[in-house]
């Protein structure tokens, strides 16, 4: 990278511009929008409600069910085929695993809490944006939680560890840039997601974690601020 600046002019530790807001879908029990750069995710939460079929119910705790979906033409201009997607199924699974540690499902026996995430436009970092939106939507729905969950990626360009890769950075020089999406539970600074795509040395991995943590804490504050704004708006209406 020339003079330590990335192709879009950011420094290695800088994220793209972030927008976060809660309560954006009136028909949902909770909802949120999270945008980082040109990647935008909407999340809606429904429930808790009785889980069907009943043989899947657990009398000791509820179920968190996540669904990730990329809308047609949300990506680089090529149409996303509707219907089942192996990638969507995989991201739905890891999203649930990233959010579940902060949700007190023991409060909702025999029930399900559904989280629906829609990507309206993408420029890398879509699973992280979805996790951020989903976490905010759960809080907006009043689901019992112990913390918010921020997420963002780190990666390596040339010899430099960077935060929040965009689409061009993921494919510099026609090669796949090593990419590490990470989700954090801020209160104890433990990770609920760490999913490496590519190859990094152990030293590079440690540097990624140390570099991305301040960014994650910054995202968490923006998520909390959006939720406070929504609460204050609701209290005044």
> What is the tens place of the pLDDT at every residue in 165-200?
998 888 775 567 889 999 999 999 999 999 998 889
State how many domains the chain has: 1
> In whole angstroms, what is the distance from residue 43 CA to residue 66 CA?
10
Percent of the chain whose predicted confidence (pLDDT) is above 70: 90
Given a cut of 90, whether residue 60 has pLDDT beyond it is yes
Backbone angles phi, psi at 202, to 5 degrees: -60, -40
Is the peptide bond prior to 53 cis by the omega test (within 30 degrees of 0)? yes
Percent of the chain whose predicted confidence (pLDDT) is above 90: 74
pLDDT, residue 71, reads 85
DSSP state, 197?
A: B
- CATH number, residue 201: 3.30.230.70
DSSP state, 166?
A: -
pLDDT, residue 2, reads 45
pLDDT, residue 24, reads 96
Confidence of residue 4 (pLDDT cuts 50, 70, 90): low
> In whole angstroms, what is the distance from residue 100 CA to residue 135 CA?
10
pLDDT digits (tens, 9 = 90+) for 153-167: 999 988 899 999 998
Given a cut of 60, whether residue 142 has pLDDT beyond it is yes
> In whole angstroms, what is the distance from residue 177 CA to residue 157 CA?
7
Q: Report the chain's mean pLDDT, rounded to a whole number.
A: 90
Given a cut of 90, whether residue 48 has pLDDT beyond it is yes
Q: Which domain holds residue 150?
A: 2-236
Backbone angles phi, psi at 165, to 5 degrees: -65, 140
> In whole angstroms, what is the distance from residue 90 CA to residue 68 CA?
9
Is the peptide bond prior to 135 cis by the omega test (within 30 degrees of 0)? no
Given a cut of 60, whether residue 38 has pLDDT beyond it is yes
Q: What is the gyration radius of the CA atoms in the chain, in angstroms?
A: 18
């Amino acid at each position: 990278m020339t003079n330590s600046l990335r192709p879009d002019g950011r420094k290695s530790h800088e994220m793209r511009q972030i927008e976060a807001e809660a309560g954006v879908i009136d028909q949902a029990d909770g909802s949120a929008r999270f945008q980082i750069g040109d990647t935008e995710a909407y999340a809606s939460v429904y429930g808790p409600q009785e889980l069907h079929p009943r043989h899947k119910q657990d009398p000791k705790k509820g179920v968190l069910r996540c669904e990730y979906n990329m809308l047609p033409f949300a990506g680089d201009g090529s149409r996303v085929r509707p219907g089942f997607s192996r990638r969507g199924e995989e991201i739905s699974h890891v999203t649930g695993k990233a959010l579940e540690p902060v949700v007190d499902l023991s409060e909702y026996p025999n029930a399900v809490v559904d989280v629906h995430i829609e990507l309206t436009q993408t420029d890398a970092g879509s699973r992280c944006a979805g996790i951020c939106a989903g976490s905010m939507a759960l809080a907006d729905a009043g689901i019992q939680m112990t913390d918010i969950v921020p997420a963002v990626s780190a990666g390596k360009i040339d010899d430099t560890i960077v935060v929040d890769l965009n689409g061009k950075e993921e494919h510099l020089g026609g090669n796949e840039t090593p990419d590490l999406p990470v989700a954090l539970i801020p209160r104890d600074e433990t990770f609920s997601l760490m999913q490496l795509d590519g190859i990094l040395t152990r030293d590079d991995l440690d540097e990624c974690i140390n570099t991305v943590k301040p960014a994650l804490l910054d995202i968490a504050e923006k998520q909390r601020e959006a939720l406070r704004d929504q609460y204050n708006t609701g209290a005044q209406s």
